[in-house]
Amino acid sequence: MYYNHLSRKERYQIFVLLQAGKNKKEIAQLLNRHPSTISREIERNSKPNQAYQAHDAVTLAKKRRKNSGNGKPIESSVWRQVEKYLMLYYSPEQIAARLKKVCVQSIYNYLYQNKARYEQFKPYLRRKGKAYRHCKAPSIEEGDRRYKRSIKQRPSYVESRKTRGHWEGDTIISRKDKQALVTLVERKTELVLIGRLNQRTASETRDMIIKLLTPFKKMVKSITFDNGTEF
């Protein structure tokens, strides 16, 4: 039961959904995240006076996480404040934003790493003990896995983002209304293409990708897909 950092994939999804005109609340709903998590991500991982960019966000988040181990231990007085706000039914996200002395992950770890403490504050948690976790795609049959290649096998010249024509494809599925989108992002220019899916099938996804990329066919050298069953 731990709060999870946003993944690289989620940061690209946030970027894509912002480009599609979605607001923070809508993005949170689609990604099954708390709205304050999305707001904080956009605020913290955007370059000054620039719109949120997925690649920049991933780089800034990695740098911040690398440096986080050099911070000072959180004082007991801060934890007393955290406990006070928890008993007022503030969420960990709201507490972190209010105090600015402790991050959301630290609050969740503080609660979940001590069973007695967790049981004490469980009645005040809005999620009532439900874990923060990423949505997992259905498992891939072993027979299908043979035809899929790891992203680690992607050539270095693609990873460097120095040339145009290399795309990343993904789908975004809303848990609430089952809304499905297929997204394509060109890695160098961060051009975003989005198509709506009525059914999450491989054939429909394939046809939508072809439709989206046809106007840009001269700028397609490679496509890296998430290993979901729709691809």
Contact 54, 66 (CB under 8 A): no
Per-residue model confidence as pLDDT tens digits over 212-223: 999 998 889 988
Q: Where does CATH 3.30.420.10 sit in the chain?
A: 142-225
- Position 150 confidence tier, pLDDT thresholds 50, 70, 90: low
Token couple for 144: 């299908």
> Residue 192 pLDDT more than 60?
yes
Distances (CA, A) of 222 to 13, 22, 103, 113, 208: 19, 28, 38, 44, 17
Please give the pLDDT value at position 61: 84
Q: What is the pTM of this model?
A: 0.54
| More confident site: 139 or 183 | 183
Per-residue model confidence as pLDDT tens digits over 93-138: 899 888 988 888 888 888 887 888 888 998 888 765 444 444 344 4
Please give the pLDDT value at position 140: 37
| More confident site: 182 or 154 | 182
Contact 159, 214 (CB under 8 A): no
CB half-sphere exposure, 207, CA atoms < 13 A: 9
Interacting residues of 30 by C-beta distance below 8 A, sequence separation 6+ = 13, 17, 22, 172, 174, 179
Q: Write down the CATH superfamily of domain 142-225.
A: Ribonuclease H-like superfamily/Ribonuclease H (3.30.420.10)
Per-residue model confidence as pLDDT tens digits over 23-78: 999 999 888 888 888 998 999 899 888 899 888 888 888 887 765 555 567 888 99
Q: Mean of the per-residue pLDDT values for the chain? A: 79
> Residue 2 pLDDT more than 50?
no
Helix axes 104-112, 76-86, angle to 10 degrees: 80
Please give the pLDDT value at position 71: 54
Identify the residue whose tokens are 């394939």: 206
